[in-house]
Structure 1
Amino acid sequence: MVQRQKVLIAATVTASVFILTGCGGGGSGETADVSFSDSPSGALSAWGFDNADDVGTSRLDYAEKQLSDVDIKIDQTAFDAQKFTTRVASGNVPDVVQMDRQFVGTYAAQGLITPLDECFAAHSVEPDDQYYESVMDDVEWDDKVWAVPQFYQPPAIILNKRVMDAAGVTADQIDTSKPDVLLDAIGKMYQESGGNPSVLGFDSVGVNQAGLWLLGYGGELMDDDGVPALDSPENAEAINFLKQLFDAQGGYAKYKSFTDSFDAFGDENPYVADQVGAQVNAQWYVNVLSPYADEIQIEAVPFRNIEGEPFAVTGGQAFVIPAGAKNADAACAWAVNLTSQDAWMAAGEARAKTIAAEPGAINTGLFTGSPEADEAIREKFVTTSGNAGFDQTIATFYDVVGEGESFGASAAGQEIQTELKNAVTSTLLGDKSAEDALADAQEAAMRAYDKVTK
């Protein structure tokens, strides 16, 4: 059962981070006029729908049935940012591409992708009704919609009750809005061996999840127009607290060495091996843990913003239509059908059948980017598992999914993320103050932004 479920989650878990290279787009954000209809035909080439599992293949099958007059060819290799810009520049582009939503604003500003407002209208889809508001904020730039979004796995904090109970720590003490309470709980759970961490009280995932902490502290990565805003005082406050969390557990260098040794997806994952008391995780990690339900004791609490309210940030993938696509009409119809309510229900059915074939497997739900689809799948397929801790954890992620906030869309979206990670890392290592690190990050992000927009 364990190996089979690892395969099931592979497509959801695998994510790649790419460094965006410059491409001469002039910063105009203009693309040629494209017409869309509700009856496409012809050949369609798609790229980036790689490693499709039962959730992916069931949706592909559904979309293919709806588009009987379209001949669909899929390049199932992973999206590559440099390859994409090169292909657009050469005019050799696929009709539709799946990519991380953080790229969307940048490519829109460069004029490398096509606005999709008329695409949605042609298929009678109102994006603001179909998708979470925060998800739409990921793909809107310059008052236009530039992508068809899919998936949104919100973050929350998965608790290791075995470690917490041994230290006398309760769930209400794992509260990111109460720094002193959280630090006290960490001190009770943290353990060392030979001067190095052996149990983390709380793994903030503070570098890879830095944006969550900054927005949760009232900061921002960019303003409403997509201009980088990394050097805000609130951002520095969040990073300074992250440094406290790491320093209370051996410091960032020792933390990094310890967590790099984690068998995160395997039989000795941090909850089986009791290497963490609590950890920030995206929803998909519940799938990773579900094969080990009999070996671990988990619950979950929301990440809370500085006001004490449950808080999440969005992230996920989207389909874009490159400028110069030969069959944008079919590309639009394909992407819209793949993310339709019926397609998601087909995916929910496929996943439920797979899980039913594995004794003891737990259905943790699907988090699609669409509130209606999420609730329908939960109501029909997510049943009581018999494991109270897992059921509570699953419910927590459903509770927080509506609390999401977008990082925003920017002409320098990926560069902002890259510079933020650099700033956080240098602060945690003690190389720079948070204020100086963010000032340097802001300068670098603005250079990237200006390169595209001026």
Structure 2
Amino acid sequence: MRRSKIVALGLMAVLLPASACGGGSQPDNSEPATFDTSPSGELKAWGFDNADDVGKARLDYAKSKLGQVTISLDATGFDAQKFTTRLASGDVPDVVQMDRQFVATYAAQDLIMPVDACFSAWKMDPKTQFYPAVTADVSYQDKIWAVPQFFQPAAVMLNQRVLDAEGVQPSEIDTSKPDELIATAKKLSTADGGKPTRLGFDAVPTGQGPLWLLSYGGRLVDDQGKPALDDPNNAKAIAFLKKLADAQGGYAKVKSFSDSFDFFGKNNQFVSDQVAAQVDAQWYVNVLSPYVKQVKLGAVPFKDQNGQPFAVTGGSAFVIPVKAKNPDAACAWMINLVTDEAWMAAADARAATLKKTPGAINTGLFTGSPSADKAIKEKYVTGSGNAGFDQTIQTFYEVVGNGKSLGASPAGQTIQSELNNAIVAALLGQKTPEQALADAQAAAMRAYDKIAG
């Protein structure tokens, strides 16, 4: 996600409290053989923070399906250290929302339950309910450990006003043709006194790094979940990113300039013509929709080096801690938050909100479920009257079915953090891509060994 924060994992802070409440080959409170689909009692949920109209509608829908359950919702954000501390103290919630990159970490420590039986009890097939790559995000050692939600694909958003002025066609913004892309980015870039005033192509390397690695055939983990940051193809991707940054003034200047963008405001980089093209997640279309009259948008899919469009999955998920007191209610609540009916209730709520805002554009919801996405698109994404916005929205719908998972690893968050460190070091010229990735691999393996070893 653009401008997303990499969660700072104090590894020992996560691991040491965990030793008091799990570990070994079998958790103390192993997965029930079956889940009761008529739960009762109290459900304690944690991590569903900052619920907007979409979230509140889904919460209301799930509550209506759990009539005999009293739901207590702790809406504070998930915190890794707090999670293990709560488990160690016995203050265990029944269900927790967290980033999917955490799921395998806690699965490897026997701190959460596998949920295959939960899906079976509610007759939901995760292989069809979710995009395959989304299910892969929460699969580890042949089990599914969480109920996933959302998939915000990335694509290349275009400032068509700038492209038109420079005589550049959208087809020339092609990530599968690196040499041509660098030349086009250089043509579209402007500077004043050596400082960038417009980026021809904002690759967002520390926000979309995994996308670039996978586009070159690289990977973050192997099939067993072990770190694989030293894959030679990863170095090829980072070497390209350095060439691209150097062609636009160098990474230090590019980063300083992009950090100055009014990303969420009225003087954002598309309104102010500070970018000609930028890699963005789908949600950013919503940010720009209030400025529809001030921008001229377009989009092209992000492609791998074979010319195939794709996107990298990511998002949040719900897990059940092994010591949950009411796993039946937790299972029922999670499932009823991600049914097609729950998502349509959310889409109805979003449409009602947009109806109150003159000129607002319905860009759809990207739920992680292909059937829900299709139904919502057919009902609500009916055209805004702005050809550029409509084409941009359609581009994201075209790539969402081509998702690739980063893979599930016990060291997932550490791998992401170390990858960013490697990218920055290489783009600044402090290390070669190979050296930076070797150092990142060593750090990621230390984390992996401490958790899964």
Matched AA of 1:203: D
Structure 1: gaps of 5 or more residues: 1-11
Tell me if 1:80 matches 2:79. yes
Matches within 5 A, 1:367-386: 367-386=366-385
Task: Give how far 1:193 is off.
Answer: 1.4
- 1:33 aligns to 2:30 (yes or no): yes
**Aligned letter for 1:17?**
I
Indicate the SS of the match to 2:37. coil
Question: Structure 1 pair 183/109, CA: closer, same or farther in 2 (3 Å)?
Answer: same
Per the TM alignment, residue 311 of structure 1 is displaced from its structure 2 partner at its CA by 1.2
Query: In 1, distance between residues paired with 2:166 and 2:437?
Result: 36
404-413 or 353-362: bigger deviation: 353-362
Does the aligned pair in 1 maintain the 2:43–2:69 contact within 8 Å? Answer: yes
One-letter amino acid of the counterpart of residue 178, structure 2: P
Deviation, 1:295, is 0.6
Assess, with a 3 A threshold, how the Cα gap between structure 1 residues 142 and 17 changes in structure 2: closer, same or farther: same
Q: How does 1:131-210 map to 2 (within 5 A)?
A: 131-210=130-209
Distance 1:187 1:252 in 2: 14
Displacement, 1:19? 2.3
Aligned to 2:318: 319
- Are the counterparts in 2 of residues 43 and 70 from structure 1 also a CA contact under 8 Å? yes
Q: Aligned equivalents of 1:274 and 1:247: distance in 2?
A: 20
Q: Does the CA contact (< 8 Å) of 2:2 and 2:281 recur in 1? A: no
Q: Distance in 1 between matches of 2:246 and 2:56?
A: 45
Per-residue Cα deviation, 1:203-239 (whole angstroms, up to 9, x for no partner): 0001111100001110000011101110011000000
CA distance in 2 between partners of 1:93 and 1:274 (Å): 50
CA 1:30–1:196 in 2, change beyond 3 Å: closer, same or farther?
A: farther
Aligned equivalents of 2:6, 2:87: Cα separation in 1: 20
TM-superposition CA deviations, 1:423-448 (whole Å, max 9, x none): 00100011000001101111111111
1:146 Cα deviation from its structure 2 partner = 0.4
Equivalent position amino acid for 2:95 in 1: V
- Equivalent position to 2:8, from 13, 19, 27: 19
Q: Give the TM-score taking structure 2 as reference length.
A: 0.96
User: What amino acid does structure 2 have at the position aligned with 1:403?
Assistant: N
Letter in 1 for 2:201: F
Any idea what the Cα deviations from partners look like across 1:286-345, whole Å, max 9, x if unmatched?
000111111100010000001011011001010011121111110111010001110001
CA distance in 2, matches of 1:222, 1:89: 29
Q: 1:354 offset after TM fit, Å?
A: 1.1
| Cα 1:179/1:314, change in 2 over 3 Å | same
Other structure's SS at 1:71 match: strand
Distance 1:368 1:80 in 2: 23
* 2-structure distance, mates of 1:248, 1:372: 43
Task: Using the TM superposition, give the Cα deviation of residue 29 of structure 1 relative to its aligned residue in structure 2, in angstroms.
Answer: 5.8
Amino acid at match of 1:34: E
Provide the rounded CA distance (Å) in 2 between the counterparts of 1:205 and 1:255: 10
Distance 2:278 2:423 in 1: 18
- Separation in structure 1 between the aligned mates of residue 428 and residue 82 of structure 2, nearest angstrom: 34
The count of aligned residue pairs is 443
How far apart are 1:13 and its partner, in Å? Answer: 8.4
- In the alignment, which residue of structure 2 is the partner of 1:279? 278
Report what 1:7 is aligned to: none
CA distance in 1, matches of 2:432, 2:279: 24
Counterpart of 1:6 in structure 2 is: none
Quick one: structure 1 residues 408 and 168, their matched pair in 2 at CA, closer, same or farther if it must change by over 3 Å?
A: same
Identical pairs, percent: 62
Partner of 1:217: 216
What is the rounded CA distance, in whole Å, between the counterparts of 1:413 and 1:29 in structure 2? Answer: 20
Q: Which amino acid aligns with 2:120?
A: A
Residues 16-415 of structure 1 mapped to structure 2, 5 A cutoff:
16-20=5-9, 21-22=11-12, 23=15, 24-25=18-19, 28=24, 30-31=26-27, 32-35=29-32, 36-415=35-414
2:215–2:305: 8 Å Cα contact kept in structure 1? yes
Alpha-carbon distance in structure 2 between the residues aligned to 1:376 and 1:355: 18
**Contact in 2 for aligned 1:203/1:278 (Cα 8 Å):** yes
SS at match of 1:273: coil
Q: CA RMSD in A?
A: 1.3
Amino acid at match of 1:269: N
1:16 shift after superposition: 4.3
Q: Tell me the distance in 2 between the aligned counterparts of 1:418 and 1:191.
A: 31
SS of corresponding position for 1:375: helix
Q: Partner letter of residue 193 of structure 1?
A: D
| Native 8 Å contact 1:37 1:123 kept in 2 | no
> Could you tell me whether the CA contact under 8 Å between 2:31 and 2:322 is conserved in 1?
no
The answer to whether the 8 A contact 1:190-1:199 is kept is yes
Instruction: Give 1:167 deviation, angstroms.
Output: 1.4
Q: Distance in 2 between matches of 1:13 and 1:234?
A: 23
Structure 1 counterpart of 2:31, one-letter code: V
- 2:279 aligned counterpart, secondary structure: strand
Cα gap change, 1:298 to 1:339, in 2 (>3 Å): same
Are 1:27 and 1:453, in contact at CA under 8 Å, matched by a contact in 2? no
The Cα shift of 1:89 comes to 2.0
| 2: CA distance, partners of 1:63 / 1:166 | 51
Q: What is the deviation of 1:94?
A: 0.9
CA contact (8 A) 1:19 1:81 kept: no
CA distance in 1, matches of 2:202, 2:392: 17
**Aligned pair in 2 of structure 1 residues 49, 370: CA closer, same or farther (>3 Å)?**
same
Paired letter, 2:281: A
Structure 1 residue 27: Cα displacement: 5.7
CA distance in 2, matches of 1:29, 1:380: 48
Q: From the superposition, tell whether residues 29 and 437 of structure 1 become closer, same or farther in structure 2 (CA, over 3 Å).
A: farther
SS in 2 for 1:280: strand
